[in-house]
Structure formats: C-alpha cells, structure tokens
Chain A
Amino acid sequence: MAKTSNISSVINKDVTCPFCGILCDDLVIQNQGETLKVLENGCPKAVASFESKQTLSSPKINGKDVPLSDAITAMCDILKKSHNPLFSGLGTDVGGMRQVMHLADKTGAIVDHMHGNALIRNSLVLQDLGWITTTMTEIRNRADLIIFAGTDAKNYPRFFERTIWNKKSMFKLKNEQRQIVYIGDKLNSKAGTNPSGKPPTTLNCKTEEIGEVISGLHALVTGATLDVNEIAGIKIKTLHTLAEQMKAAKYGVIVWSPAELDIPHAELTIQNFCEVVKYLTRFTRFAGFSLAGNDGATSANSVCAWQSGYPLRVNFNKGYPEYDAQRYSTHNALKNKEVDSLIWISSFSSDVNSPRASIPTIVLGTPDTKLNFKPDVFIPVSTPGVDDTGQLLRTDSVVSLPLKKVRQSPYESVNTILKQVIERM
C-alpha cells in the first residue's frame, strides 16, 4: 500500500465525477501529495467534493475509536441478532451495491436508497403505463425543443454545457435552432439562454400545478379546445403556442427531476409528461428524460433490479424478494417498526444524515460524516471514483462509466467491508 510517492504529482485525465447523476467523465485532476486539484472541467460541486481534504477518522463503537476488525465484528454481531435489518442510504457504486444485495439476501433485510422517494416516483410510472425515453447523446445531437418541467437542472451543473449548448452536433443542429422552455416554480432559467443570447421561454406555475399544465398541453396537441382562459395562471394562448411548438418539433424532450417534484403523488405528474410524449410520438419524435441518480441512486436501483428482479424497495425477510414501493421505504419501515437494525451507507456525500432510530445503528460513511447521534458502529469508508476504482450507472440507466482511483485512501470501500461481513456471517 505504501505507494504514496508513486501516485503523487500525477495528473489523471478523463476522470469520471461520481458526485451527481450525469457522471461527467472529462475531468482532469491533479494529485499532489494526496491533495487533489481539479484542473479542468470541474463544476463547483465536483471541485468542492474532489478537493475537500481527507479527514482523519477512525472506526468507532459507541463513539469510541476501535480497530476496523473490531468494528466489523460488532457489525456482524448486530446483524446476527437482527431479524429484519434495513440497509439504507446505499450511497455506493455497483460493486458496493452488489455486496449490499448479497448481505441483504443473507440477513433477510429491507433495501432502500436515500433518494428512494425520487426513485419510486419514476418506478410507479414505468410499472403503470411505461414511457418513451432518451439519453444524453441523443439530446445533445438531436433535440430541437427541450422542456424543463419542474427542474432547472441546477443540481446537475454541467447538464446544459454537456448536452445542450454544443459547438458541434451530429446532424448539424445549431444552438439557435434549439428552443428551451421551463415550466414550474422559481426556476432559474439563466442556463437556458442560448450562447447567442436568445432567452428561453418560461411558464410560471406552482410545482403542484405542472401536471395540470402538461395535461392542458396534451389536450391541445390532440386538437381539443379548452373552455378556459388560463391554466394555473398561464394563458391558454401561451399554451397554444407551446402546443404548436411541440407538434412542430422534430425531436422534443421533456426533462424532469423526480427529486425536485417533491409533491404528493408526483408520479401522476411524471405520468402526464410521459403520456403527452407518447401521444406526440404518434406523428413526430418526442421523448422523456429523467435527471436523477445522485449518490449512486441509478446504480442501486439497477443492481437491485437485476439481482432481485425488482427495483428498489425490496424486503428479503421471507427468504425471497418482496417489492413494495411504499411499505419498504426507510421512513415507513422505521416508523412501523418493521426493522430491528439500521445500516446506513453513504460513501459520496457527507451531508446526508442517517436517520436517527432507536434500534442498533451502523453507519458506513465518508470519514467527515457529521452525525447528530452516536451510532452503535461507525466505519469510515472510501469514496468510489476518488479513493477506489469502480463503476456507476448514469441517470439514463443506459450508460455506465468506470471510476478511477485518483488518490490513496487509508479507508476501505463499502465493497470490501461488506465482503468481509458476508464472509463472517
């Protein structure tokens, strides 16, 4: 392991950033004496995350520093006594998630992700009527009308740079030909101004009203007349104009971010997006695109689906997987006392706190994790894509990227720690 001198002052190119769901993979990162500097293509989020100093931390049992092997033993003890553990957070890469699934199966656990609420909003739509979707390279080269519904993509800082405003596109689509529309509440439309200065169109409404606005547009594109003057404060004339734009688009895209549609039954709003897309596809091309997948959420959902058969919120307690998007949420499982131990995993971000529960709690977190309680066991873990190689799936659930190791870490990965736990269970 004493390779520090070899790896220092190294410049890594084509580094994948694991800190949001669009996985930009063009970062240039310098490692000088284990201090990282993002030399190129870092958004503020990437810079803050890669350049944050490695915190000194230690595995802990009830707040007291212990060797890692003791912490793993304590974790095994808790899991052995537990009848229905809850593995949540799940901020890890494909390798880590594979071990989570193995261990959950072995211990009869529930699995849910910290962004589970966002994930299931999409899952419910997929399972009800399905959808037509697209991916980033298609948008980048093809999309001439992009409607941001309830999101301005600011949580995905380079989305516009990497997929919309391009120097070149495969089919000679020019930036001036791209129309950007925002529908929603207090959206920052600055990024939607095209490089030659043409501003986007913004339709303001409350998040709860977006579904209604889209339904109105759906009615209009079918040729129906609506006997109202406005919907959610937006004039019908404005909606007519947009409906005509949608019909005239060669390749239109509706972008949503399930996390930002934080309203009851957001799945119905998302379904409205998907159904108007389907209708438009009868005569032109249209597609949906979901911006999500932070903290390895897309990877967790996909690995869960291929290993168990179901997307997230699965319970292995009966010895086989059971799926229930509501009942097996972290919130409900804890509230309804369905679980008797909690294993919280967060290896990308330190600012998502583990829920505080009155059951034995194990936290596998970044070394700088700040908790407002003392878990029974705390194990600092390395971050995939910074401290370890690995793989992550991008928000579109199609593209996955390799993660590089750009610095030495004294901490082990979720993957290797859980492997040891599985071996000892």
Chain B
Amino acid sequence: MYIKLTNGIVYDPVHGINGEHRDIYINDGYITRKPTSNTKICKTYDMKGKIIMAGAIDIHTHIGGGKINIARMMLPEDHAADLVEKTELTRSGCGYAAPSTLTAGYRYAEMGYTACFEPAMLPSNARQTHMEMADTPMVDKGAYAMLGSDDFFLRMLASKKDQAAISDYVGWTINATQALGIKVVNPGGISAFKFNQRKLELDELNQYYGVSPRDILKSLARAVTELGIPHPLHVHGCNLGVPGNLNTTLETIRAVDGMRMHLTHIQFHSYGTEGDKNFSSGAAEIAEAVNKNPNISIDVGQILFGQTVTASGDSQHQYAGHWHADPKKWVIMDIECDAGCGVVPFKYRDKNFVNALQWAIGLEIFLLVDDPWRVFLTTDHPNGAPFTSYPHLIRLLMDRSFRNDMLSTINKEAAAASTLASIDREYSLYDIAIMTRAAPARSLGLKNRGHLGSGAVADITVYSNHKDKEKMFSKPDYVFKDGELIVRNGKIVKVVNGATHTLRPEYDNGIEKSLKRYFDDFQTVSLGNFKIDDDEIVEHGNGKIIVQPCM
C-alpha cells in the first residue's frame, strides 16, 4: 500500500539533500524508491511549501526509570497546572517537568519526535525503566545502562582484571538489561559518595577500590569499542556543576586517547572560575577542544528559565546541590551497590547571575562547535528544562535577533560576561535536521532511522515553514510513525506503541560463572532474575524489540 508525500521541501542530511523538492514514497512502513508507473498509490499528501524531515530523535532524555518516578511522586505541584484530559484516543495524565509516561509520549510525538533514549538506566532498576518506557507510547525508545560505580566493575578494575574480562562484563550487562549503550555518570563518584567521599577529581582515587575516574573512563571506553557498540561511551563527567570543571572536562577529553566518547550535558561541565563571582564561561575552550577532537561528540543540556526538577544518577553532586533545592525538598538514594540517584527540584532564574550565565554558556557551546554532526540538541530533560522547550531552543539557535532580544532580558552582569552577543551564527534548517535527526541516529547506530532514503523506516515529520521557528517546531502538520499518520496539525490522530531498541554484543559468557558466585554471595536478587527476558518487554510491555547490529 503506497503512500506519496508530494511537493514537499526535503531536508535529509544523510543524503546531502538541503531543502530540495522531492517526492517521498512509503510502502509497508518504509520509505521506498519511486515505484513503477503502474503501481497504485493509495494515498497522496500534498505537502506544497512544507518542510519534510525524518522524525526527530532525542538522544538524552530522562523519560523512564526510578528517579523520574520519584520526581513525579515528589512534585504534585509540578502537575497541578499541567493536567491533560483524556480524549477518545488518548489517556489522561499530567506534569510539566516530570510528566506521566503516557503524556510524555504524546507530547514528543506532537512535537515531531519519533524516538527517545533514556540515558541513565541503572542495571538494578532496568526492569522498571523498561516498564516505564513500554508505557511511553508513540515513540521508539531505548536506554543506556549505567556502569562505573557498580561494585562488580570497580572490583574487577581494582584487582587489575584484564580488559577482555571487563569487556565481557560490559557486554553481559548490555544483554542482561536490554540496553542500547553504556553510560558512565561521575565515574566512581557515586560509589565514593557511599564511602563518604564528597568529591572525586579525575585522578583522585576512590578510597575503597583505589581506582580513579580516569581508569574507569578508559576501561569503559575501551570495552565499548571492543564490543562494537555503535554509540560511544556516554559520559556524564566528574564535577558536574562545579565552577572550574572546565579543566576536568578538557582533561577528560585527553584521557581517552582518541577513543570515541560522547560527553553529555556538557554545559554543566563547562564552567570557569574567572570574574568577581568566580563563575565564568568555559564554552570557548570546550568548543575548541570538541572542534579539534573528531572522536568527541556532545549534547549540550541547555538550561532554559523556569521551574524544573533535576534528576540524575550522580548522587554525589546532587547531594551537594540539594542546598539549592526549590521547592525545598529533595531525594538522594544509594542503590544496590550498583548506582545511586538524586532528585532535586530547581528553578532557573533569568535575573540570577549563575543561571543566566548557564543559559548563555549552553548557547555559546551550540554556536561555537563547528560540526553539527557532533553536537545534539538536548536540555537533559528535565534537568536543564523540560523537553517541551525544544522549539524555543531551536528558535534561539536559528534566529539571532530573537536570541539577542532574550539576551537583553537576562541578568546584566551575566550578559556582559558572555560572548553570545558577538556570535553571528544562525543554525539553518539543514543544521537542525542534522543535530536532531541524522546525527543522533548515526551516533546510536540506527541505520534506517534519521534519514529519508529508500529503506529507511518511515518516521517522518512535516512542518509549515513559519518564520517563527518556535511556532514551526512546536506543531508539525504531519507526523508519520512506521508509515502511519499519527499526528495531524500537532494533535494525535492515532496511538501507536513504538519499539524498544537494543543490542546483542558478543561476549564470552564464561563471565556468568563469576557473576553467579558474586550474586549468590552479595546481592539480594539472583542472577537469573536480574536478567530481563525479551518476553518481559514484548509480552508484559506492549512493545516489540528491535535488535540493532553491532559494529
């Protein structure tokens, strides 16, 4: 059954198509070549003057798992003004910074997103993460398993186990937790906090294991490379939010010796200590380092002003940040000798020097990094701002005069301390298509997503080309998921579930022998029950699994 989108203006960076008139054909959920002239076209959509891109992909958004559920439970005041009524098609829900799963899925689709990736799945909480993702309709999803503060890994590293064994463990974890990648958060620092260490520099030793964040990063980056995991090690570095962490970040880039690495929400790791307030922008140095090191990709974690909630696996720095909680309540958890989390509500204020400069730093990084293939659009939802602010962020990037108008409203000292006013760059639609589609798909190894070529999954978003880019990206005219029309004029017209993307890297399953002994000796669940069967996602989770190939 063929569908044709005709007369549209196509942005498809994977194929170098930059705003050209192209017809797009869909058959059985996939984009196909133009069929032969005697093929029946069942439905033709006239997209005259409209902008066509692949469905957008969010590479880093906290949509599922324990810490977001804590945020939901803790913050009824977040939800009260954002109540979502049920409709004939959709379920009710609520929430602004910490929306319910169903509401999050609907909102993503209504914004033209067709895939979202939860970046911090604790292995011990993986089953719940998958449950919540399964209850996030409309979009495809997947998750990165969090390692680096887990006792088993630190123990291996401390006892100088060879890299092959560590890679086996990493491979086992990906399989056991149905993950799509590996993330490390404050390497070793979450563990250190449990031993009452309140900070951990890149070369500082975890006092129990005697290993440093540098050792951890190198070992995990190597494991990711050796296992052929498409997405590079996803790194939330040391010293999140600490003035001066710019140097830690630069040193972190050097630490991996040219191995691929993704530095996430880098805005929170780009702070200097200059000026009267000992807080300054490190964006220029960070951008320069990113530009010089093609092995590095980043997402920004832009902050936008207003109320939100920060939810992170980084219990150590979330604890340090709890003094700034607004409203004054917060949660820290130590979890299973595996990981941790911290949930701290926060309000970013445009008249506050630090917050205003954080805003400017994020934008500076976006605008100073040359290659849009290596910088992804995120707010680290909900940590910098809820994902619903993406259209506003896109306008800030695409519209210099709007950006400067906003700049003139923030804290004056922060505006003066920022180079933002002097940056002329405006992102093009092509750049946006790269950073929100093509690049994240490539980074995650999703070969048939993020583009509009023949063989791609027909996840397609169609916009009206408004001059106001916030308006344009808020409300697409059409969204197709797997070839089906799911959104029309920014409203859901069909509810679908989306699939879960996973990997099955090869590893030596001999590692299970030591894991079995380890679980029996120390854990409170058995090894067999720790692992998540396909059935739990498919049968108990309203979803299907797509296994992506390794490299």
Task: Say how far B71's CB is from chain A's closest CB, in angstroms.
Answer: 9
Q: Does A305 contact B72, Cβ atoms closer than 8 Å?
A: yes
- Bin chain B's interface residue count: 35 or more
Q: Does B131 contact A305, Cβ atoms closer than 8 Å?
A: no
Task: Say how far A399's CB is from chain B's closest CB, in angstroms.
Answer: 6
In the complex where A105-B92, A284-B196, A309-B79 touch, is A399 in contact with B135 (Cβ < 8 A)?
no
Measured between beta carbons, the chain B residues less than 8 angstroms from A350 are none
Interface string of A317-330 (1 = CB under 8 A from B): 01111010000000
Within 8 A of B (CB), among A9-42: 13-14, 16, 25-26
Interface string of B523-551 (1 = CB under 8 A from A): 11110110011011001100000000000
Q: Does B93 contact A311, Cβ atoms closer than 8 Å?
A: no
In the complex where A14-B526, A398-B125 touch, is A309 in contact with B93 (Cβ < 8 A)?
yes
Docked pose: A309 CA to B100 CA in angstroms: 4
Task: Say how far B280's CB is from chain A's closest CB, in angstroms.
Answer: 29
In the complex where A138-B337, A397-B69 touch, is A306 in contact with B124 (Cβ < 8 A)?
no
In the complex where A127-B73, A305-B69, A320-B94 touch, is A393 in contact with B128 (Cβ < 8 A)?
yes
Measured between beta carbons, the chain B residues less than 8 angstroms from A257 are none
Interface string of B142-171 (1 = CB under 8 A from A): 000000000100010000000000000000
- Closest residue on chain A to residue B539 by CB atoms: A389
Measured between beta carbons, the chain B residues less than 8 angstroms from A323 are 76, 79
Q: Does B540 contact A321, Cβ atoms closer than 8 Å?
A: no
Contact of B83 among A13, A301, A321 (CB under 8 A): A321
**Contact stretch, chosen from B328-336, B357-365, B393-401:** B328-336
Measured between beta carbons, the chain B residues less than 8 angstroms from A353 are none
Measured between beta carbons, the chain B residues less than 8 angstroms from A240 are none
Q: Does A309 contact B127, Cβ atoms closer than 8 Å?
A: no
- Closest residue on chain B to residue A168 by CB atoms: B521
Q: Does B92 contact A316, Cβ atoms closer than 8 Å?
A: yes
Interface assignment of B132: CB less than 8 Å from any CB of chain A: yes
Docked pose: A332 CA to B70 CA in angstroms: 26
Measured between beta carbons, the chain A residues less than 8 angstroms from B193 are 285
Measured between beta carbons, the chain A residues less than 8 angstroms from B319 are 281
- Closest residue on chain A to residue B91 by CB atoms: A105
Interface assignment of A56: CB less than 8 Å from any CB of chain B: no
**Which of B64, B325, B343, B528 has the most A CB atoms < 10 Å from its CB?**
B528
Q: Does A163 contact B100, Cβ atoms closer than 8 Å?
A: no
Within 8 A of A (CB), among B336-367: 336-338, 343
- Closest residue on chain B to residue A22 by CB atoms: B524
Interface assignment of A43: CB less than 8 Å from any CB of chain B: no
Q: Does A132 contact B328, Cβ atoms closer than 8 Å?
A: no
In the complex where A307-B100, A321-B83 touch, is A123 in contact with B329 (Cβ < 8 A)?
no
Q: Does B66 contact A398, Cβ atoms closer than 8 Å?
A: yes
**Contact stretch, chosen from A75-83, A94-102, A189-197, A202-210:** A94-102
Docked pose: A136 CA to B338 CA in angstroms: 11
In the complex where A130-B330, A134-B333, A310-B76 touch, is A399 in contact with B525 (Cβ < 8 A)?
yes
Task: Say how far B193's CB is from chain A's closest CB, in angstroms.
Answer: 8
In the complex where A309-B72, A399-B336 touch, is A127 in contact with B529 (Cβ < 8 A)?
no
Q: Does B74 contact A130, Cβ atoms closer than 8 Å?
A: yes
Q: Does A310 contact B72, Cβ atoms closer than 8 Å?
A: yes
Interface assignment of A391: CB less than 8 Å from any CB of chain B: yes
Interface assignment of A382: CB less than 8 Å from any CB of chain B: no
Q: Does A391 contact B92, Cβ atoms closer than 8 Å?
A: no
Interface string of B280-305 (1 = CB under 8 A from A): 00000000000000000000000000
Q: Does A123 contact B533, Cβ atoms closer than 8 Å?
A: no
Interface assignment of A302: CB less than 8 Å from any CB of chain B: yes
**Which of B329, B333, B528 has the most A CB atoms < 10 Å from its CB?**
B333
Contact of A305 among B73, B86, B337 (CB under 8 A): B73
Interface assignment of B101: CB less than 8 Å from any CB of chain A: yes
Q: Does B329 contact A129, Cβ atoms closer than 8 Å?
A: yes
Q: Does A309 contact B98, Cβ atoms closer than 8 Å?
A: yes
Within 8 A of B (CB), among A121-152: 123, 126-138, 140-142
Q: Does B151 contact A134, Cβ atoms closer than 8 Å?
A: no
Q: Does A399 contact B328, Cβ atoms closer than 8 Å?
A: no
Within 8 A of B (CB), among A104-127: 105-106, 123, 126-127
Contact of B92 among A135, A169, A285, A319 (CB under 8 A): A319
Q: Does A135 contact B93, Cβ atoms closer than 8 Å?
A: no
In the complex where A129-B328, A132-B332 touch, is A402 in contact with B92 (Cβ < 8 A)?
no
Q: Does B98 contact A133, Cβ atoms closer than 8 Å?
A: no
Q: Does B74 contact A126, Cβ atoms closer than 8 Å?
A: yes
Interface assignment of B255: CB less than 8 Å from any CB of chain A: no
Contact of A310 among B66, B79, B330 (CB under 8 A): B79
Interface assignment of A414: CB less than 8 Å from any CB of chain B: no
Interface assignment of B208: CB less than 8 Å from any CB of chain A: yes
Task: Say how far B156's CB is from chain A's closest CB, in angstroms.
Answer: 13
Q: Does A135 contact B333, Cβ atoms closer than 8 Å?
A: yes
In the complex where A130-B74, A170-B337, A284-B196 touch, is A307 in contact with B135 (Cβ < 8 A)?
yes
Q: Does A128 contact B536, Cβ atoms closer than 8 Å?
A: no
Q: Does A399 contact B125, Cβ atoms closer than 8 Å?
A: yes
Q: Does A128 contact B329, Cβ atoms closer than 8 Å?
A: yes
Q: Does A307 contact B522, Cβ atoms closer than 8 Å?
A: no
Measured between beta carbons, the chain B residues less than 8 angstroms from A247 are none
Known: A306-B100, A389-B539. 7 other contacts (CB 8 A): A16-B529, A25-B526, A126-B329, A171-B208, A306-B64, A309-B103, A401-B127
Nearest 7 interchain pairs by C-beta: A309-B100, A130-B329, A309-B94, A137-B336, A320-B83, A136-B524, A400-B127
Chain B residues in contact with chain A, CB under 8 A? Answer: 64, 66, 68-70, 72-76, 79, 83-86, 91-95, 98-103, 122, 124-125, 127-128, 131-132, 135, 151, 155, 193-196, 208, 319, 325, 328-338, 343, 521-526, 528-529, 532-533, 535-536, 539-540
Give 19 CB contacts A-B under 8 Å: A14-B528, A25-B526, A123-B73, A140-B524, A141-B522, A142-B334, A170-B155, A250-B196, A302-B128, A306-B101, A307-B100, A318-B85, A320-B83, A320-B84, A397-B70, A398-B122, A399-B125, A399-B525, A402-B533
